[in-house]
Amino acid sequence: MFISFPNRSRRLRRLVATTSLLIASIFLSDVCVLAQAVAASGPPHSTEDRGRILLVLPFDNHTGQPSLEWIREAAAEILSSRFASAGFAPMRRDDRIYALDHLGLPQGFQPSRATALKIAQTLDADSIIVGSYRMDGGDIIAEAQLINVPHLRMSPAVASVGKLTDMMNVFDSLAWKLTRQLDPALNISEQTFIAAGAGTRLDAFEQYIRGITEPDQAERQRHLLQAVQLSPNFSLAWMALGRNYYDDQEYEKAADAFARVSHSNRDALEAGFYRGLSLLFSGDYPNAQQAFAGVARILPLAEVVNNEGVAVSRQSHDGSAFFREAVTADPNNADYRFNLAVSLKHRGDTAEAMTQLTQCLRLRPSDAEAQALQTAWKQSSGAQSAGAEADPLERIVRDFDAAAFRQAAQMMNEMDEARLAALPPRERALKLSAQAQGYLDRGLLLEAERLFQSSITADGKVAQAHAGLAEVRQRSGDAADARKEAQAALALDPSAQAYLVLGRLDLESGDLTAAGTEAGQALKLEPGSKAAQELNQQIIARMGQER
């Protein structure tokens, strides 16, 4: 996905090129395997690809109630979040706003179908989701349709109904129905979609939406603070609040807000980058270094490693290795050349420092600071010149393009998927199951189910996948399917996880004898399991109550 805006696309191409170089260096030994995987899986983002790019537009408010206007953006946010968890690539709100601005349209503009298509084409989206909502007594009725942009074809409308107090469930259900239209083969249950939003308080979500749509900075901050006070673990609200503080140059508050974004949130890497910047500007260089290092371990973009090098240098340590890595990743960036030159000079390598500074000026001849530095260095005699103390600090990369950053992360994900696709079915199923378990451990039920289902598709005899899917089903409230999957897992290979699912189900249904047996089996397989110990204690306590 490439965004067709002159300024943004230039930075996007640069970041994509940087990422490509990094990916090539990381996965060079896998080139042949990757080529086979890509050939087998077909071209990326084809019209039948479940990872297609989606644009969800704000829904039309047909309620006649201005107090419910906030649901317009809420619908787009909920659907986009569920589509992302299900493996699609929905556009972000800021990309949509950028497109509206590029077309000369205000943020609150309600586009016609023709204008919606123009926005989607501007953003290179494959499909648009348009919809509306209305009230019928105490019920909210939401309807939506998919528009296939390349073929200009509309799907049949789907609808979801529920109490206004259960609005999240209504739009979660609608997202599931739309997902089934986008990819009928995607076998994720509706209950898992609904469970994905179960932990979000509606009042906190309303304050979050009012915050991100509020043009006034102070009012925006007020709404976002209310959102995190109502729901202290609300990562989306913390991310938005962090950006608000960052824009106001309240860097210590920004760093704290970004730190509260969950590592499992899709904004986690971006939050880590901004936290690093906030800590740099606050003068907390050790923690800034850690923040950038955490991002670089997953996405080692030139911007990230450069700023990690700045944090190292500000602690009077040698950051040359980081600046050299940034130059290698993006050799045409003058700032990285400048930073490497300054760092090398501090280290005493004057000749190489002058070479890098010359390269910086070749890339940016009008750089006044670099010109003055070159003149000073030429006039100095030897490495230990009197002017060495006056050498400037290394430059921080502040021109951060979030859309390009996310695009680079998506490229890394696609590389990982290609590597998986090249593995034998059994090995692929085991790796998918392990990834899914990681999502499940973090409470991400929808992501976990998607990967457990992919594991079972690759090889239906992997017990871990059935046990994991059983736990997803149990957590989402589908007792019948949870029991079926747990029993399937036990038939393949007994595990504590499968026994625990059955034990919890039997405890909930009141069959304490069966629950006690299953908890005992889980403890036999994993004596140190805290989950099994807790279940056993719950069963004993329940038995005592019944006596």
User: What tens digit of pLDDT does each residue of 350-369 get?
Assistant: 999 999 999 999 999 999 99
CA distance 452 to 445: 10
385 exposure class (CB count in 10 Å sphere: 0-12, 13-18, 19+) = middle
Residue with tokens 């029991």: 483
Q: What are 265-320's pLDDT values in tens digits? A: 888 889 999 999 999 999 999 999 999 999 999 888 899 999 999 999 999 999 99
Q: Please tell me the predicted confidence (pLDDT) of residue 12.
A: 39
* Strand-strand pairing, 139-148 and 153-154: antiparallel
Residue 160, C-beta contacts closer than 8 angstroms, at least 6 positions apart: 141, 142, 170, 171, 173, 174, 177
CA distance 443 to 145: 30
Q: Among 198, 232, 251, which residue terminates a domain?
A: 198
Name the residue with higher pLDDT: 235 or 385.
Answer: 235
Name the residue with higher pLDDT: 409 or 275.
Answer: 275
Q: Among 198, 223, 251, which residue terminates a domain?
A: 198
Q: Please tell me the predicted confidence (pLDDT) of residue 226.
A: 97
Mean pLDDT in residue range 453-478? 96
Q: For residue 518, give the CATH number of its domain.
A: 1.25.40.10
* Strand-strand pairing, 89-90 and 127-136: unpaired
For the cut 60, the answer to whether the pLDDT of residue 45 exceeds it is no
Q: Please tell me the predicted confidence (pLDDT) of residue 44.
A: 34
For the cut 60, the answer to whether the pLDDT of residue 31 exceeds it is no
Residue 488 lies in a domain: yes
For the cut 50, the answer to whether the pLDDT of residue 440 exceeds it is yes
Q: Which residue, 110, 85, 25, is CA-closest to 300?
A: 25
Which own/partner contact pairs does 63-70 have at CB distance under 8 Å and 24+ positions apart?
Answer: 63/133, 63/134, 63/135, 65/135, 68/133, 68/135, 70/206, 70/209, 70/210, 70/213
For the cut 50, the answer to whether the pLDDT of residue 467 exceeds it is yes
Residue 168 lies in a domain: yes
CA atoms within 13 A on the CB side of 320: 13
Sorting pLDDT into bands at 50, 70 and 90, what band is 116?
Answer: confident
Residue 357 lies in a domain: no
Q: Which helix (H) or strand (E) holds 361?
A: helix 350-363
Residue 310 lies in a domain: no
**128: alpha, beta or left, given left = phi > 0 and alpha = psi -120 to 50?**
beta
Q: Please tell me the predicted confidence (pLDDT) of residue 109.
A: 67
Q: Please tell me the predicted confidence (pLDDT) of residue 327.
A: 96
Q: Please tell me the predicted confidence (pLDDT) of residue 91.
A: 85
For the cut 60, the answer to whether the pLDDT of residue 79 exceeds it is yes
CA atoms within 13 A on the CB side of 253: 13
Mean pLDDT in residue range 388-409? 73
Q: What are 481-510's pLDDT values in tens digits? A: 999 999 999 999 999 999 999 999 999 999
Mean pLDDT in residue range 422-435? 94
CA distance 225 to 238: 8
For residue 115, give its domain range: 48-198
For the cut 90, the answer to whether the pLDDT of residue 123 exceeds it is no
Residue 38, C-beta contacts closer than 8 angstroms, at least 6 positions apart: 44, 418, 421
Q: What are 142's strand-pairing partners? A: 133, 160
Mean pLDDT in residue range 126-144? 94
For the cut 80, the answer to whether the pLDDT of residue 254 exceeds it is yes
For the cut 60, the answer to whether the pLDDT of residue 50 exceeds it is no
Residue 255 lies in a domain: no
141 exposure class (CB count in 10 Å sphere: 0-12, 13-18, 19+) = middle
pTM of the model: 0.81
| 447-479 burial: b if 16+ Cβ within 10 Å, else e | bbbbbbbbbbebbeebbbbbbbbbbbbbbbebe
Are residues 131 and 171 in contact, defined by beta-carbon separation less than 8 angstroms? no
Mean pLDDT in residue range 162-171? 96
Work out how many domains the chain is built from and give that number.
Answer: 2
Mean pLDDT in residue range 92-99? 81
**380: alpha, beta or left, given left = phi > 0 and alpha = psi -120 to 50?**
beta
For the cut 70, the answer to whether the pLDDT of residue 3 exceeds it is no
Q: Please tell me the predicted confidence (pLDDT) of residue 390.
A: 63
Are residues 529 and 523 in contact, defined by beta-carbon separation less than 8 angstroms? yes
Amino acid at 256: D
Q: Please tell me the predicted confidence (pLDDT) of residue 108.
A: 67
For the cut 80, the answer to whether the pLDDT of residue 247 exceeds it is yes
Q: What angle do CA 483, 487, 492 make, to 5 degrees?
A: 150
> 114: which 2 tokens?
């023709």
Query: Concatenated DSSP letters for 232-252?
Result: TT-HHHHHHHHHHHHHTT-HH
Residue 225 lies in a domain: no
For the cut 90, the answer to whether the pLDDT of residue 158 exceeds it is yes
Sorting pLDDT into bands at 50, 70 and 90, what band is 187?
Answer: confident
Q: In the chain, pLDDT over 90 holds for what percent of residues?
A: 65
Are residues 194 and 173 in contact, defined by beta-carbon separation less than 8 angstroms? yes
Query: Concatenated DSSP letters for 425-484?
Result: HHHHHHHHHHHHHHHHHTT-HHHHHHHHHHHHHH-TT-HHHHHHHHHHHHHHT-HHHHHH
Residue 511 lies in a domain: yes
Residue 414 lies in a domain: yes
Q: Please tell me the predicted confidence (pLDDT) of residue 65.
A: 95
Q: What are 198-226's pLDDT values in tens digits? A: 888 999 999 999 999 998 999 999 999 99
Q: Please tell me the predicted confidence (pLDDT) of residue 32.
A: 34
Neighbour count for residue 184 (Cβ, 10 Å): 9
Q: What are 371-398's pLDDT values in tens digits? A: 999 999 988 755 444 444 567 899 999 8
> 526: which 2 tokens?
């994993």
Sorting pLDDT into bands at 50, 70 and 90, what band is 140?
Answer: very high
Q: Please tell me the predicted confidence (pLDDT) of residue 388.
A: 46
Q: Among 198, 233, 259, which residue terminates a domain?
A: 198
Q: Please tell me the predicted confidence (pLDDT) of residue 25.
A: 40
Q: Please tell me the predicted confidence (pLDDT) of residue 232.
A: 94
Q: Please tell me the predicted confidence (pLDDT) of residue 405.
A: 67
Q: For residue 124, give the CATH number of its domain.
A: 3.40.50.10070
- Enter the DSSP assignment of 29: G
For all residues of the chain together, what is the average pLDDT? 85
